[in-house]
Amino acid sequence: MTARKPADPRWYQDAVIYETHVKAFYDGNGDGVGDFQGLTEKLDYLEALGVTCLWLLPFFPSPLRDDGYDIADYRDVHPSYGTLADFSRFLEEAHRRDLSVLIELVVNHTSDQHPWFQRARRSPPGSPERDFYVWSDDDRKFSGTRIIFTDTEKSNWTWDPEAKAFYWHRFFSHQPDLNFDNPAVIEQIERVMKFWLDLGVDGFRLDAIPYLVERDGTSCENLPETHAVIRRLRAFVDRHAPGCMLLAEANQWPEDVRPYFGDGDECHMAFHFPLMPRIFMGLRRESAAPIVDIMRRTPAIPPSCQWALFLRNHDELTLEMVTEDERAYMNLAYARDPRARVNVGIRRRLAPLVENGRRRIELLNALLFSFPGTPIVYYGDELGMGDDVLRPDRDGVRTPMQWRGEPSAGFSSRPPEALYSLPVTDPVYGVQAVNVEAQLADRSSLLHWMRNLIRLRRQFRVFGRGTLEFLPAANPRVLAYVRRLDSDVVLCVANLSRHAQPAELDLSGFEGYTPVEMLGYTPFPRVGRTPYLLTLAGYGFLWFELRREG
């Protein structure tokens, strides 16, 4: 199997991405761990949900000390999740349903159990094997570099007694950083990419790419040498699989992420990390200002590129890209219980963050799906799944998918205590209260609402590719903006307050247009010269297609 050549090389701009861990979705062989057999069996569910691309968290052989981000073999499948043959069958079935598949490529580091590192630590200084990683005789080099996992790591250097030297790591001490000043390392990464491209994957999420190259006297982030590596990887992909997408994970300010697009010759997509906490901030403050401010701070990107947008994912709600005052506010608003905090963020799923408020969940998704970029849905959030802050690290947001209201959540034939992780059991978010089977039977469920929203989003290319223009609103609790693409014009209005609010909008530029509410296809009064008046319910939102009369 080889990578598909997409009909539209910019397919990712119109995509709706669904993120899941193979182990968490469905157990097909009854051993208590999700696998590719199970994921394949549930592709019909994902097709019916309407998503167009699956993003799979790491599934490679690994000691699993960091949930698979500590890779010990880049070219195989962890035995718990199946075999390469299982993966190939899954990929074939996904493609048969027009679902693209995006996989992780953890390029910054490996597991300390990877054969490359084991050879490096046993080889003499200066040898080609040792040079695969970054070493030092002391731990003072690169002293201006911040520590990312502040809860667990006190230094970015760890002493290796066998190598008799310190090795560099930006993440956990069992994840040594690769040496991207070594051309042999880049060649090995290219071989890994070709391996998966030949199998047929449609894209790679490049994990932690701001940290690829180190230089003394710098922050060791966003260096020109790092961008040179990314351009080389992009050129390699373009040669071997045109249409394959690269997604940059760079938790940085928008102006610092902008260079990762290059001139359209680096990554096709990049996450917009700072937007996410400001959406939650705007909701709690009942103010559009934090959202408008960060979007106005966001620079233009090449036409072939795209922002990746999300509300929640497999990690904590990161508060790195906020001010100290904003971080304190977010912790007070969303994580009063200190157990909900980890590193510099909040380890909660979407529904618990907003106290299971259905209207707030809908409003947040309406923003996610109507802002410039490609939306990402974290598995189970289409149901309103919950979490468990008592579990270590971020395990509480990585629990089994809840298929049915039974002890093992319909996830596995094994009893709950034999699963890789216990399902959530509390009365609000537990398997009896939140599951696919019940929501499929209830036409008013969140799952059906999400299906409708995804369907609507896919009907209008303007959401993925159009421009954004904020409209001035006298009411600071109302967020109003226009999306345009060619002759298509969409007006979005959102009430960030829990109370009903009036909106008075200057739509004089659209005089004579008829706003048609898009979820119910309801025509509203025609736009005239006077301010256009709307009333929105608490946490209400409206999407209008502006249709020119005549």
C-beta separation of 315 from 394 below 8 A: yes
Phi/psi for 186 (5° steps) reads -60, -40
DSSP class per residue in 328-377: HHHHHHH--SGGGEETTEE---HHHHTTT-HHHHHHHHHHHHHSSSEEEE
Phi/psi for 399 (5° steps) reads -85, 165
Residue of 35, 70, 249, 316 marked catalytic:
249
Report the C-alpha gap between 340 and 396 in whole angstroms: 10
Per the annotation, the verdict on 388 as an active-site residue is no
Per the annotation, the verdict on 162 as an active-site residue is no
Distances (CA, A) of 359 to 439, 513, 543: 17, 29, 15
Distances (CA, A) of 444 to 383, 439, 441, 448, 452: 12, 8, 9, 7, 11
Handedness of CA 339, 343, 349, 350 (dihedral sign): positive
Alpha helices by DSSP H, 341-475: 350-353, 358-370, 436-441, 446-459, 462-465
Report the C-alpha gap between 29 and 24 in whole angstroms: 13
Residue of 19, 35, 202, 207 marked catalytic:
207
Report the C-alpha gap between 548 and 546 in whole angstroms: 7
What is the CB neighbour count within 10 angstroms for residue 117?
24
What is the CB neighbour count within 10 angstroms for residue 512?
13
Give catalytic residues, as residue numbers: 207, 249
